[in-house]
Structure 1
Amino acid sequence: MADNQTETIAFLSSPDSFGAPDPVDRVETHGAFVFLCGDTALKLKRAVIYDYMDLSTPDKRRAMLMRELELNRPAAPTLYRDVVAVTREADGRLALDGAGDPVDWVLRMRRFPAEDELEAVAARGGLDDVLATELGHSLAAYHHAAPVRLRDGTRLIADILDELDRVFAGFPGTEALRLHRGWSAGARNALDRHADLLKARGQTGAVRRGHGDLHLRNLVLLDGRPVPFDALEFDETLGTCDLLYDLAFLLMDLCHRDLRRAAARVLDAWLLDFQGRQDAGLAALPLFLSVRAAIRAMVLLQTDAARGMPHASDAEVALLLQEATGFLRPPPPVCIAVGGFSGTGKSLLARGLAPHVGAAPGAVWLASDVLRKAGRDNTAPLPDAAYSATARGQVYERMMARAGTILGAGHTVILDATFLDPTRRTAARDMATALDVPFVGLWLTAPPDRLRQRVAGRRGDASDADVAVLERQLAAGSGTVDWRHLDATCDAGATLSAARAALADATPAGA
């Protein structure tokens, strides 16, 4: 039986516990209470017992808080301070870090402004392409540093499916249970299809001790940089997972909030930093997204029960389970190539198109300018040698190699390059044909004077093409282009609409 924490909760809800006159705000989850006052946050583990988490005694709660501190301090050293006791003093009163015997324990953290939480940033429309890309790079660095664990990736997911079955069975007669049963069968079929892939990834470094709970509420801007915090500490098995499964929680969360464009940018940046080593794993991403949506639904049910508010989240639980089912039915992949002279807006179109095509969160954007600068400052010009014929050929080869792997994994790609050389255009189409994947080539056009104006006005762009480069392109020409021509002279929105219409005409329904 779990401890009664009523007195401790009342104490931590009082400004006296903080030694400050400010009011105390309280946030509740299914496993913790967080008390906020002034520049301090105190986290108290809730005295609960779930199948996967036992916080029934002060000693167990202290151990979990210590593990939480250990896991999170490397990524957010300015945020995590220490673990301190709530003590019973000689006069019978409770104190924070007093001289008496401990009755419970709290994790002491630096409080950050609520508006710096990524959830709040996203809610006010601040999760733009720049921040989403930076977030993807930040999480790639986090995952690069995560300790490798040699585990059977199939077994890890199977155990989670078993746990979900047990938890949902504890809510008999509900719509959630009915939806879960239908979803669970599909998830197990998907797991069977990808079993060999997941086992192999577990033996080649893709399974690591990751974050485990990577969604918008567990990301914050610290000194203007997106930083993960509140990693899952209560179960080393659940915290050990495939890196794409770890990332999938955030991607699912963004899709659930109708922020697929941000999700696509996060995924692009993350994949870029792994230089193709995670591309084949995209075959399992629909399953990973689906499981993450089901877990979110489960946690909502448990949180409502813990707060004595059953059915409060029924509508969102149903939506999440419907989304979980939808993730298991991804559309077939398509190879999309966007070409044209510098300044036609290829990257602008590709970024706008990506979230609308392919499996969630959208097509993977492979841009020659970005691939050329992988691992470097995107805005810093490269030396002329980086644009020699040999160097350009190597960039195209890397782009095609990655595209082949991603398409083979069932994910749509958008190839973004000038494609002025007819042999490059042929190579892109031939690759798609060899993989039995539909190919759609989009050729952007605009008057030369308009292109000169755009290229001259570029700032903070991955492309190093200047007006002199454009003039050489125009002089050399592109030969006859049999791709779908789109006028990109004026409105980017109109170009995007035309591109989507062209795709609808050229690809099977549902692609």
Structure 2
Amino acid sequence: MPNRKSTLRPESTHSLEALVSDLSDPTLYPHSVEVITTIETHISVVFLTGDYAYKLKKPVDFGFLDFSTLEARYKYCLLEVELNRRTAPELYLGVVPIYWDAERQKISMQANDTAPVEYLVKMRQFDPNAVLGSQGDCIQISHQQLDSLALQIAKLHLNAESVDMKSELGTPDVILKPMTDNFIALEACFDPESHPYLQDLYQWTLTHHAQQTPLLLQRREQGRIRACHGDLHLDNIALINRQPVLFDGIEFSDSFRWIDGISDLAFLLMDLASRRQAHLAWQILSIYLQRTQDYQGLQLLRFYMVYRAMVRSKITNLRAEQFRSGSSERAKLCVLADDYVTLAHDLSQIPSKPKLILLQGVSGSGKSHLAEQMLRLIDAVVINSDRTRKTLFGIEPLERVSDEQKQRLYSQTMNRNTYRKLEENAQTSLQAGWHTIVDATFLKKEHRQRFYNLAKALQVPVYLIYIDTDLQLDSVFLAEQIRLRTEDDKNPSDADAAVMLQQSRYLQKPQDDEPCIWLNAQKLRQEFPQQQIKQFLNLPLTS
């Protein structure tokens, strides 16, 4: 299949250049406009007017996307508004028709007796600097915002419509086609001799697709193919009123948006990894999985992350082609496209045997904070007992419960069910080849022993990190921990001072036969023992 070039198809006398020029005129708009700024991609031009933004779809045909007719652009404008109102109803205001004003010999937003010559998506404008992708390789996002983002994505996927099983969408063949199309497009952009990864990645994709075909079919039968965002990367996430908002989901291709939720999420995780922010990717993934309980999807995560890196390389090359040959803009984009191929190759490399890491300590000792810090040292799935417990109970992870609900939520039956689920999810994660951190109190030796047995059965190394604190002696530490937990509305734990003290009385500390290091809770609050943890986990001891 030959590489398909972009084709601009201006209709009538209204060329793309003329439309962009006219839409850059502040007097065109029915509201006050002082200055207009434009943002251009390979498929659209966005006009920022102050209070509102207007998106013009380019009359292009890339094969996977066809905006070449006015009818198609109108259809996809309507669909874009409908789909994106799921996550950003306050942003997507509607579709605006554009008319030809024969008397003034220019376009107009005032309706007349002629048919529209173009359509625009009207949005409420926000600061372009609020887009996470604009921050480059230094993403500024708080723990609370990260938590909210992961839960928003989980909610979108859990509530999204499942694919009609009579359609071909989400079948293994449909999943594979855009993957192989990426390589066809990229062969025209890269010299195979200067970029040997392309052929290796092509074969890797075919091999892994064949290996995973039974799972792809199973997940489709399970209803995992859903109406997702489809373009979930940092350039399509903004912090508005200090809350993350997903926007600009795909409308132009059914096969690109009716996908597995893990494929959708993989785009964001890959994007973060490409910016050397992998620790944020693993935090988002962990929170997402604890809400959706879709740990099975981890078996496909590497497959989809490689695909998303190749998508990004192809799109970056398409954007480069729209700049003059020899220009600095084109050169920069070509280098970036090359970097994505290299990232895809790195992602395809299966790491050494996965590690199972257990974090033990009473509620409030700092386990969850330690797990978050450890993600800067090791790429791992974090499985948190509080979030898992609440998901099993049928409530949101951050929902507070009544005293009556607490009796059932923290009953012996729920304790057993929670540890059983933690073990099940850890096993799935490890078997998928990912390092796994289990964050729980592990008050009893029997709770830890079941994970030691799991590690032995899977033949993976297991490590226990115990956070030690004597709450009965250190009342100042206890009071401070309670204060911090009370102020943190993103903490899923319901434990109060009484619970923490009770746990400390019944806690069975690690014994000599357990693979353990002890960390002091008070010291842990002041300094992260990076080198000590690296040495314990047999990680490279870099400065």
The residue identity in structure 2 corresponding to 1:352 is Q
Matching residue of 2:3:
none
Where in structure 2 are the equivalents of 1:37-436 lying within 5 Å? 37-91=49-103, 92-99=105-112, 100-120=114-134, 125-149=139-163, 150=165, 151-171=169-189, 173=191, 178-274=196-292, 276=293, 278-308=294-324, 309=327, 310-331=330-351, 332-357=353-378, 362-374=379-391, 375-376=395-396, 378=398, 380=400, 383=403, 384-385=406-407, 386-436=409-459
Shift of residue 178 of structure 1? Answer: 4.5
The partner residue of 2:523 within 490, 493, 497 is 490
Question: Does structure 1 conserve the Cα–Cα contact (< 8 Å) formed by 2:517 and 2:536?
Answer: no
Q: Which runs of 5+ in 1 are unaligned?
A: none
The partner residue of 1:457 within 465, 483, 501 is 483
The partner residue of 2:498 within 454, 468, 471 is 468
Three-state SS of the structure 2 residue aligned to 1:504 is: coil
Three-state SS of the structure 1 residue aligned to 2:232 is: coil
Measure, in 1, the Cα distance between the counterparts of 2:504 and 2:180. 61
Measure, in 2, the Cα distance between the counterparts of 1:438 and 1:71. 45
Measure, in 2, the Cα distance between the counterparts of 1:63 and 1:464. 49
Q: Over residues 52-91 of structure 1, what are the superposed CA-to-partner deviations in whole Å (9 max), with x where a residue is unaligned?
A: 1122232222222122122212332221122222221121
Measure, in 2, the Cα distance between the counterparts of 1:339 and 1:71. 43
Q: TM-score, normalization: structure 2?
A: 0.86
Question: Does structure 2 conserve the Cα–Cα contact (< 8 Å) formed by 1:136 and 1:267?
Answer: yes
Measure, in 1, the Cα distance between the counterparts of 2:331 and 2:436. 41
Question: Does structure 1 conserve the Cα–Cα contact (< 8 Å) formed by 2:137 and 2:276?
Answer: no
Instruction: Extract structure 1 runs of 4+ deviating beyond 6 A.
Output: 121-124
Question: Does structure 1 conserve the Cα–Cα contact (< 8 Å) formed by 2:162 and 2:226?
Answer: yes
Where in structure 2 are the equivalents of 1:435-450 lying within 5 Å? 435-448=458-471, 449-450=473-474
Three-state SS of the structure 2 residue aligned to 1:22 is: coil
Measure, in 2, the Cα distance between the counterparts of 1:82 and 1:466. 48
Q: Over residues 336-379 of structure 1, what are the superposed CA-to-partner deviations in whole Å (9 max), with x where a residue is unaligned?
A: 1011234432111112113532xxxx322112222223333626
Which shifted more, 159-168 or 78-87?
Answer: 78-87
Structure 1 14/200 Cα, relative in aligned 2: closer, same or farther at 3 Å? same
Three-state SS of the structure 2 residue aligned to 1:494 is: coil
Shift of residue 282 of structure 1? Answer: 0.5
Three-state SS of the structure 1 residue aligned to 2:191 is: coil
Three-state SS of the structure 1 residue aligned to 2:141 is: coil
Shift of residue 243 of structure 1? Answer: 1.0
The residue identity in structure 2 corresponding to 1:254 is L
The residue identity in structure 2 corresponding to 1:431 is L
Three-state SS of the structure 1 residue aligned to 2:359 is: strand
Three-state SS of the structure 1 residue aligned to 2:345 is: helix
Q: Over residues 302-340 of structure 1, what are the superposed CA-to-partner deviations in whole Å (9 max), with x where a residue is unaligned?
A: 011123354331222222111111111132322110112
Measure, in 1, the Cα distance between the counterparts of 2:26 and 2:248. 24
The residue identity in structure 1 corresponding to 2:101 is E
Identity of aligned residues (%): 26
Which shifted more, 369-378 or 161-170?
Answer: 369-378
Shift of residue 426 of structure 1? Answer: 0.8
The count of corresponding residues between Structure 1 and Structure 2 is 501
Q: Over residues 94-151 of structure 1, what are the superposed CA-to-partner deviations in whole Å (9 max), with x where a residue is unaligned?
A: 1124324422221111111223323347866431221111111101111122221134
Measure, in 1, the Cα distance between the counterparts of 2:35 and 2:108. 18
Shift of residue 411 of structure 1? Answer: 2.1
The residue identity in structure 1 corresponding to 2:478 is R
Which shifted more, 290-299 or 330-339?
Answer: 330-339
Structure 1 211/467 Cα, relative in aligned 2: closer, same or farther at 3 Å? closer
Matching residue of 2:16:
5
Q: How large is the RMSD of aligned CA atoms in angstroms?
A: 2.5
Structure 1 321/121 Cα, relative in aligned 2: closer, same or farther at 3 Å? closer
Measure, in 1, the Cα distance between the counterparts of 2:88 and 2:37. 22
Measure, in 1, the Cα distance between the counterparts of 2:290 and 2:506. 31
Q: TM-score, normalization: structure 1?
A: 0.91
